Amino acid sequence: MEEMTRLEFERIYKAYYSRLCAYAYRLVHNYEEARELVVDVFMDIWERKVSLDSEERAKAYLFRAVLYQASNCLNRRDVRRRYMDEALKTETVMENSVDRIVAYKELYGELDKAVDKLPERCREVFELSRFSGMSNGQIAEELKISVKTVEAQMTKALSRIKGHLAGKGVELVGLLLAGKVIQEIGHELFFNFF
């Protein structure tokens, strides 16, 4: 298979960018995320030098790739929303303290930001471990990488997340509170985390 040339890439980009953004928006209902998904698809094509032999193949490949990226985006969003919903329900039951709820939302917001800033492979390993509950061996098998690579990516993820949270002034008390709430709903995200 031949590598894609710069001219071929530019032609495909110009021909499909707007349509793909509209399609992605219909899937994720967020303009920013839709544009990011489409850019990610084009970046992947350029980095891998994927050659799209015909117009039909290009169109099918691009729309399928955007659908796949949108599905991943929606899954991540759903997981985060479920954790937040459960955490807020538990927090309300524990005590209806406005300060605690605000601190908890802030903590989760910062955690989301930290996870979103991770490099793609690092974020993928972290989410499979912490949100899907997979073991290092299962993650290695799923991603076709070594267990040592999974461990290295987790170390990198945890270090960066800790750094982000520390840089935002998130206090240990808030982390412990969040860990207690999550533990009560059956997840030990923060205790396994630190």
Per-residue pLDDT tens for 166-175? 766 555 434 4
Q: Quick one: CATH architecture of 6-72?
A: Orthogonal Bundle (1.10)
pLDDT in the model for residue 91:
58
Tens-place pLDDT, residues 15-52 = 999 999 999 999 999 899 999 999 999 998 888 877 77
Residue pair 155/144 in contact (Cβ under 8 Å)? The answer is no
DSSP 3: P
- 139-159: per-residue pLDDT in tens? 999 889 999 999 999 889 888
What pLDDT was estimated at residue 49?
76
- Nearest C-alpha neighbor of 116 from the set 70, 80, 69: 80
CB 75 within 8 A of CB 83: no
Q: pTM value?
A: 0.44
Average pLDDT score over residue span 129-134:
80
Average pLDDT over residues 118-145: 87
What is the dotted CATH code of the domain comprising 95-193? 1.10.10.10
| Contact by Cβ (8 Å): 62, 20 | yes
Per the listing, tokens 């039951």 go with 93
Domain layout of the chain by residue ranges: 6-72, 95-193
Name the residue type at position 174: G
- How far is Cα 123 from Cα 184, in angstroms, rounded to an integer? 25
Best CA proximity match to 20, nearest among 4, 42, 5:
42
* pLDDT tens-digit readout, 47-105: 887 777 778 888 999 999 999 999 988 888 887 787 777 766 665 555 555 666 666 67
Q: Do residues 126 and 154 make contact, with C-beta atoms less than 8 angstroms apart?
A: yes
Cα distances from 63 to residues 44, 122, 138, in angstroms, run 14, 26, 30
pLDDT for the residue numbered 78: 81
Percent of the chain with pLDDT over 90: 26
